Structures are given as C-alpha cells and as structure tokens.
Amino acid sequence: DTGVSQNPRHKITKRGQNVTFRCDPISEHNRLYWYRQTLGQGPEFLTYFQNEAQLEKSRLLSDRFSAERPKGSFSTLEIQRTEQGDSAMYLCASSLNGGDRDEQYFGPGTRLTVT
C-alpha cells in the first residue's frame, strides 16, 4: 500500500513525558500536514511543510511541540512535557504541490492518551 502511514497508531504516556510520532507521506508528495483532532471536532491544523521547509505553524502549536521533515520525506512530531490536554488523535496528511487542486491524503492517525 502506498498511502500515508503513521506510527505508532496508539500511544499511552504519563503526564510530563516526551512523545514522538512519525508520518510517512505518499512518496511523490511535496506537502505534508499535521492536524490534531479531539472527539466530536474536525481536524485542527497544526503545521505544514513544503519539502523540508516548515511554512506555517498554528497558534495551537505551543513551544512544547516541534515538527521536522529533515529530508523532505518523512516527518516527526514531538511533544515535550505532555499534558492531559494533549490527548487527541494526531493526523498527518500529504499532497502534491500547486496546481488547481490540493487534495490531501490522510493517514490513519496516532491516538495519544496522556494519563
């Protein structure tokens, strides 16, 4: 399967611990997006990359959050000193750049539970 993959699918951690999630986009896609989704809400934009450059970060992305895409391929999202409010589904999506469409392909998400 050549879709977007995310690892791990589930993560349980204690408050105060650091966690890191990985996203592998579709191979020819230049754009990569991170979203957070809580129950009953739509995905909230966190940040996105054009190749290895991080082009925009949401106000939701506090200084405890950092995202990288070092070689313009896979990306990692790290949360330091996790809080219970960080419990959510973290979604990654990728897309081709430009043109008249920017259809995003989403991964299955990583569900984070902070206890």
Partner 1 sequence: DAKTTQPNSMESNEEEPVHLPCNHSTISGTDYIHWYRQLPSQGPEYVIHGLTSNVNNRMASLAIAEDRKSSTLILHRATLRDAAVYYCTRGTSYDKVIFGPGTSLSVIP
Interface ranges with partner 1 (CB under 8 A): 4, 33, 35, 40-45, 48, 56, 91, 93, 97-109
Q: Print the SS3 string covering the chain.
A: CCCCEEECCEEEECCCCCEEEEEECCCCCCEEEEEEECCCCCCEEEEEEECCEEEEECCCCCCCEEEECCCCCCEEEEECCCCHHHCEEEEEEEECCCCCCCCCEECCCEEEEEC
Least CB distance from residue 17 to partner 1, whole Å?
25
Q: Closer CB to partner 1, residue 14 or residue 100?
A: 100
Decide whether 14 or 99 has the Cβ nearer to partner 1: 99
The distance of closest approach from Cβ of residue 29 to partner 1 in the complex, given in angstroms and rounded to an integer, is 13
Whether residue 32 contacts residue 94, with contact meaning beta carbons closer than 8 Å, is answered with yes
Cβ closest to partner 1, residue 3 vs residue 16: 3
Of the pair 21, 35, the CB lying nearest partner 1 is at 35
**What is the nearest approach in angstroms of partner 1 to the Cβ of residue 108?**
5
